[in-house]
Amino acid sequence: MLKALYDHPLFSSLGAADIDRIIFSSRCKRHVFPQESRIMSEGDPADCFGLVISGSVRVEKLDLSGNRNIFAVLREGELFAEAFAFSGAERLSVDIRAAEDCEVLVIPAEAILADPRLTRNALRLVAGKMFLFDQRIEVISRRRTRDKLLMFLQQQRTRSGSDSFTVPFDRQELAEFLGVDRSGLSVEIHRLVREGKILCEGPRFTIL
């Protein structure tokens, strides 16, 4: 694990001794979570954040009707709940759940804010994450399911650098991420396949 932390952008410009001191003396804790278990809950104190060591986690929220909205799926090396921890928010307003079996490192925000170098690195990472959320807003602001799907696929193509890519969602999760009905999403995917605009095999898409 430590080798991965030494290379992580959060600890850029820090030596191994400094990283060891932060990890072992600031109440950082490693946890293993089975798939679908809850890592952090809405309403929890926003005084720490997590780093995905292996597997993936999902940021989600239930609306008043009990419908799940997925904001992001974060994989190895990515941070979660850091925007809350560094913004001064008192409580989390989302749930963090294991999208698959995963291991995470939970880091107190105070351990980062006490070091100007870490604070600077953290701000860069938070700014990058905000760009990703801006992209999601660009997707869900489209009115039609077809337009939302096409915008999402275009973003994934740009992010992967290839016309063929695998999305980090199953069909139900993709519908929840786009904020659309699953059956309507399936109809649009099949229609785009028939029109010769895309190929789709499970979570793998190709834009033609």
Whether residue 13 is found in the same domain as residue 99: yes
Whether residue 104 is found in the same domain as residue 202: no
Q: Are strands 29-33 and 102-108 parallel, antiparallel or unpaired?
A: antiparallel
Is residue 138 in a domain?
A: no
Whether residue 122 is found in the same domain as residue 23: yes
DSSP 28-66: -EEEEE-TT-EEE-TTSBSSEEEEEEESEEEEEEE-TTS
**Number of domains composing the chain:** 2
Is residue 140 in a domain?
A: no
> Is 33 in contact with 104 (CB distance < 8 Å)?
yes
Q: Is 34 exposed, middle or buried (0-12, 13-18, 19+ CB in 10 A)?
A: exposed
Confidence bin at 191 (pLDDT 50/70/90)? very high
pLDDT digits (tens, 9 = 90+) for 54-75: 999 999 988 777 788 888 889 8
Pick the last residue of a domain from 113, 133, 153. 133
Whether residue 114 is found in the same domain as residue 187: no
Is residue 139 in a domain?
A: no
Whether residue 128 is found in the same domain as residue 203: no
Whether residue 50 is found in the same domain as residue 108: yes
CATH value at residue 165: 1.10.10.10
Type of residue found at 159: R
Pick the last residue of a domain from 95, 111, 133. 133
Closest CA to 185 of 156, 126, 144: 144
Is residue 50 in a domain?
A: yes
Question: Residue 1 pLDDT > 60, yes or no?
Answer: no
Whether residue 85 is found in the same domain as residue 151: no
Confidence bin at 51 (pLDDT 50/70/90)? very high
> Is 204 in contact with 164 (CB distance < 8 Å)?
yes
Choice between 109 and 134, residue whose per-residue pLDDT is larger: 109
Whether residue 129 is found in the same domain as residue 150: no
- Reported residue count of the chain is 208
pLDDT digits (tens, 9 = 90+) for 158-190: 988 999 999 988 899 899 889 898 999 999 999
Whether residue 187 is found in the same domain as residue 117: no
Is residue 167 in a domain?
A: yes
Confidence bin at 26 (pLDDT 50/70/90)? confident
> Is 152 in contact with 139 (CB distance < 8 Å)?
yes
Pick the last residue of a domain from 67, 98, 133. 133
Domain that holds residue 163: 145-207
95 pairs with which residues across the strands? 60
CATH value at residue 24: 2.60.120.10
Rounded CA separation 104/131 (Å):
23
